[in-house]
């Protein structure tokens, strides 16, 4: 039996965390954190294939986490904000999602 793909979810809103758990928890191994500090700690402790990162967190933005992410990791950035996002140097916004679509999350594994 193959190991489940491990996903780091960085999301401070508990309702959205519950949605991720319900939608993805059966198929993937999820590690859920609420802040950038917790995310950096999780990244130091474990390897992840995918990261789903909220754009706005209590202690910074999802882009603040970018330097801690492996270049081999697939990253999905989500945000409930209507404010236009500006990507940091070396990164590109491919698709800004107001509400994350589960199909887009699944396709991130295949890229």
DSSP 49-76: SEEEEESEETTEEGGGGGGGS-TTSEEE
Report the pLDDT value the prediction gives residue 43, as an integer from 0 to 100: 93
Specify the higher pLDDT residue, 93 or 72.
72
Amino acid 79: pLDDT: 67
How many residues are listed for the chain in this entry?
A: 111
Most confident of 23-27, 66-70, 107-111: 23-27
Q: What is the pLDDT of residue 30?
A: 97
Which carries the bigger pLDDT value, residue 25 or residue 108?
A: 25
Counting Cβ atoms within 10 Å, is residue 48 exposed (0-12), middle (13-18) or buried (19+)? buried
Instruction: Identify the residue with better confidence: 60 or 106.
Output: 60
pLDDT at 99: 47
**Per-residue pLDDT at 89 exceeds 90:** no
Residue pair 63/56 in contact (Cβ under 8 Å)? The answer is: no
């Amino acid at each position: 039996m193959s190991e489940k793909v491990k996903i780091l979810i960085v999301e401070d809103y508990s309702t959205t965390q519950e949605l991720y758990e319900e939608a993805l928890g059966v198929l993937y191994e999820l590690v859920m954190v609420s802040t950038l500090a917790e995310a950096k700690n999780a990244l130091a402790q474990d390897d992840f294939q995918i990261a789903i990162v909220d754009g706005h967190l209590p202690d910074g933005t999802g882009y603040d986490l970018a330097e801690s992410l492996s270049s081999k990791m697939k990253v999905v950035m989500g945000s409930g904000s209507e404010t236009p996002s500006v990507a940091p140097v070396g990164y590109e916004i491919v698709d800004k999602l107001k509400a994350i679509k589960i199909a887009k999350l699944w396709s991130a594994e295949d890229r």
